[in-house]
Amino acid sequence: MTEMNDMQSRVDQYISQFKDGYFSPLVQLARLSEEVGELAREINHVYGEKQKKPSEAKKPMEEEIADVLFVLISLSNSLDIDLSEAFDLTMKKFESRDHFRFERKDGQTRSDSTS
């Protein structure tokens, strides 16, 4: 499995070969929205009621998700955000704040942890 820092470095090496480099954050946000829209369209075709037109080619879901990831990494790189650190902070937030938010498979509840 590729580490997030490796992915960020690989995207940076790819983008760095071009004279213009990274697009502005606002352009990248627009690109991210486009890619998320394409992913949503595919999910809707597979899991929703909307059928594809006969002329539309099937797109692999993993390709659409990876497109979102590529643009998100590009945006993060251009803003000098270490995604490994950011992800770790977010996971700590979810693991503490939302530890008992949903019914747990192990049956543990908030009252169990306070006893």
- Annotate the chain with DSSP letters as a single string: ---HHHHHHHHHHHHHTSTT-SPPHHHHHHHHHHHHHHHHHHHHHHHSSPPPPTTSPP--HHHHHHHHHHHHHHHHHHTT--HHHHHHHHHHHHHHHTTTTS--TT---HHHHH-
Residue ranges and CATH numbers for the domains of the chain are 4-81 (1.10.287.1080)
Question: pLDDT for 54-108, tens place per residue?
Answer: 888 888 899 999 999 999 999 999 999 999 999 999 999 888 876 656 666 777 7
Distance of alpha carbon 86 from alpha carbon 92, whole angstroms:
10
The model's confidence at residue 37, banded by pLDDT at 50, 70 and 90, is: very high
0.85 cut: is pTM over it? no
pLDDT above 80 for 114: no
Distance of alpha carbon 12 from alpha carbon 10, whole angstroms:
5
Distance of alpha carbon 39 from alpha carbon 63, whole angstroms:
9
Q: What is the structure's pLDDT at 39?
A: 96
